[in-house]
Structure 1
Amino acid sequence: MEIIEKAPAKINLGLDIVGKRPDGYHELAMIMTSVDLNDYVTVRDLPTDEIVMVSNSHRMPLNDKNDVYKAALLIKEKYGLTTGVEISLEKHIPICAGLGGGSSDAAATIRALDQLWNLQMTQEEMVEIGFAIGSDVPYCLNAGCALISGKGEIVECLNSRFGYWVVLVKPDFGISTRTIFKEIEPDKISRVDIDGLRTALVAQDFDGVVAHMGNSLEDITIARKPFIQKVKDRMLKCGADAALMSGSGPTVFALCRTEKKAERVFNSMKGFCKEVYKVRTL
């Protein structure tokens, strides 16, 4: 038996660091939406009790350092399974880019193994496994447009048909999310009006969305990598309605009301960076 699951990338329309929790985690308030740039996870039963992972990307570890492998291992341990699995990961989402590729791959693996092994997991069980891997995985289990709060484990799907064009630009360097979060000083970082952004999204108010977009981590990451600001400035100069860093970076996305505008931004950015994608929100 073979199960294939799609793993879409995400962008952060809004990311606010509310504060530091007593348990050491940061209190988050984020609005994410999926875009149609996808990885694909394929799982197949193996007769032997092992996890075998393959990928088209030579940059991916194929062991327990990979979130896909971690997801399979956690499920096997939680349910006491001795069934083996081969997992094939077809990568298209840039790595270490702030687009949630690893988290989405892990979420797709959880969904795929739930079907392959007929586990009939509840949403709560999936979220528990996902959060043990990373704070973005609970969101990625259902993806779409959602408000995320707490440590990342509280996900509220938003009734928003936010169907606009997006140009993604991934500079030729990566960013460690853990490193950026270590530098957060909650009383000094810029804040984002997530409630205002949520209201605009639900009302289908494009101008309101643009006005309320923001990312509390931008200043920290741009201080390390000023090139990110150059990408943002060029996008806006080319006519993007908004330009914002996604997650902890380094990917910057341009939000465009029309495909014509997105095409203009896309063509301009292709000569500026190697990895440029024109996509739509899902």
Structure 2
Amino acid sequence: MLAERAYAKINLTLDVLGRRPDGYHEVDMVLQTIDLSDLIWLEDAPSGVIEVSSNAANIPTDARNLAVAAARALSAACGLARGVRIRIDKQIPVAAGLAGGSADAAAVLRGLNRMWQLGLSADELAAIGAQVGSDVPFCVLGGCALATGRGEQLRKVDHDLRAWVVLVRPPVFVSTAEVYGTLTPDRYAPAPASRAMIPALLRRDFDAVRRLSVNGLAAATLARYPEVRQMWQRVEQAAHVPVQMSGSGPTLYCLLPARSMAQRLYNALRGFAREVYLCRFVS
């Protein structure tokens, strides 16, 4: 049996640039790994058998689970018919804009690459992951990256900025497809925020990074889901620092420069929010 960590991500920036001919939207995003993680356990199974179990009752354990899709994609790419039993110990909130499902899929790719001794590079695993989901390539590589195209085209951003992250998940499930479906051309970004964000990260300018964080889906999500808007307002009042949303939501986050400050905010938010998480950047 082999264990592999599956790390969540947040969007430091997310700009939607327009609709693509294939029906997807062109995005420009700066993604950052955080240390909130699931634990994936992998165990050999009879040939062709791919099974998933989990401690979480609200995720699928059939072919809809991206972990299953990842195992099948890797098997197909390598011409294998091996089986695997996958156990997902969930800590990342489900359908929260944190790429939890994609992180699990990426961990399966990395873990099976080791367990089956395939010798594939991270870039090769990321290419296979792109067949599974747009966020999977980033989750394979981790750290920080500029993601373009559908989110699968990556350029690594090697920075040394240390930051703490306090996450709050409002009690509502957000449909990414519905949020993107409400976008109109007036909400497309004229210029990507990453142009300023990446230099700020590289010079370790925490104040600039926090100030420059932007999410082009936030307005659409807040308009469609009043629970997210209400939570945003409450967090803003408690935090006295900028609040931002990850992905299509509903998870909100605040960046803090020190653990003591993050811990105080975490404690304050626990007074009115059930799902609050204290995390930090992972390089």
Shorter-chain TM-score tier: over 0.9
Give the residue type in structure 2 aligned to 1:173.
V
Q: Report how far residue 251 of structure 1 moved.
A: 0.4
Deviations 1:132-175 (A, max 9, x none): 11111110001111111112121112121221111110111111
Q: Report how far residue 66 of structure 1 moved.
A: 0.2
RMSD: 1.6
For residues 106-125 of structure 1, the aligned pairs below 5 Å read: 106-125=105-124
Aligned match of 1:276: 276
Aligned match of 1:182: 181
Provide the C-alpha distance between the structure 1 equivalents of 2:19 and 2:148, rounded to a whole number of angstroms.
13
Deviations 1:197-223 (A, max 9, x none): 111111101111122110000000000
Deviations 1:46-104 (A, max 9, x none): 23431121111111211101000111112222323222111111100000000110010
Residue 136, structure 1, aligned to residue 170, structure 2: no
Residue 154, structure 1, aligned to residue 153, structure 2: yes
Provide the C-alpha distance between the structure 2 equivalents of 1:240 and 1:206, rounded to a whole number of angstroms.
16
**Contact residue 241 and residue 257 of structure 1 kept, 8 A:** no
For residues 234-249 of structure 1, the aligned pairs below 5 Å read: 234-249=234-249
**Contact residue 126 and residue 136 of structure 2 kept, 8 A:** yes
Aligned match of 1:252: 252
Give the residue type in structure 2 aligned to 1:56.
N
Aligned match of 1:265: 265
Q: Report how far residue 123 of structure 1 moved.
A: 3.7
Aligned match of 2:23: 24
**Contact residue 238 and residue 265 of structure 1 kept, 8 A:** yes
Aligned match of 2:81: 82
Provide the C-alpha distance between the structure 2 equivalents of 1:164 and 1:230, rounded to a whole number of angstroms.
26
Q: Report how far residue 124 of structure 1 moved.
A: 4.1
Provide the C-alpha distance between the structure 2 equivalents of 1:179 and 1:74, rounded to a whole number of angstroms.
27
Unaligned runs of 5+ in 1: none
**Contact residue 240 and residue 256 of structure 1 kept, 8 A:** no
Q: Percent identity?
A: 38
Give the residue type in structure 1 aligned to 2:61.
L
SS at the partner of 2:239? coil
Provide the C-alpha distance between the structure 1 equivalents of 2:240 and 2:29, rounded to a whole number of angstroms.
22
**Contact residue 200 and residue 208 of structure 1 kept, 8 A:** yes
Moved more, 72-81 or 109-118: 72-81
SS at the partner of 1:17? strand
SS at the partner of 2:141? coil
Moved more, 211-220 or 24-33: 24-33
Aligned match of 1:221: 221
Provide the C-alpha distance between the structure 2 equivalents of 1:142 and 1:213, rounded to a whole number of angstroms.
22
Residue 200, structure 1, aligned to residue 200, structure 2: yes
Deviations 1:21-48 (A, max 9, x none): 2222211110111111110111111234
Aligned match of 2:167: 168
Residue 58, structure 1, aligned to residue 57, structure 2: yes
SS at the partner of 1:242? coil
Q: Report how far residue 111 of structure 1 moved.
A: 0.6
C-alpha distance 34-124 of structure 1, shift in aligned 2 (>3 A): closer
- Runs of 4+ aligned residues of structure 1 deviating over 6 Å after TM superposition are none
Provide the C-alpha distance between the structure 1 equivalents of 2:238 and 2:255, rounded to a whole number of angstroms.
12
Aligned match of 2:46: 47
SS at the partner of 1:163? coil
C-alpha distance 259-123 of structure 1, shift in aligned 2 (>3 A): closer
Provide the C-alpha distance between the structure 2 equivalents of 1:182 and 1:130, rounded to a whole number of angstroms.
25
Unaligned runs of 5+ in 2: none
**Contact residue 60 and residue 66 of structure 1 kept, 8 A:** yes
TM-score (norm 2): 0.94
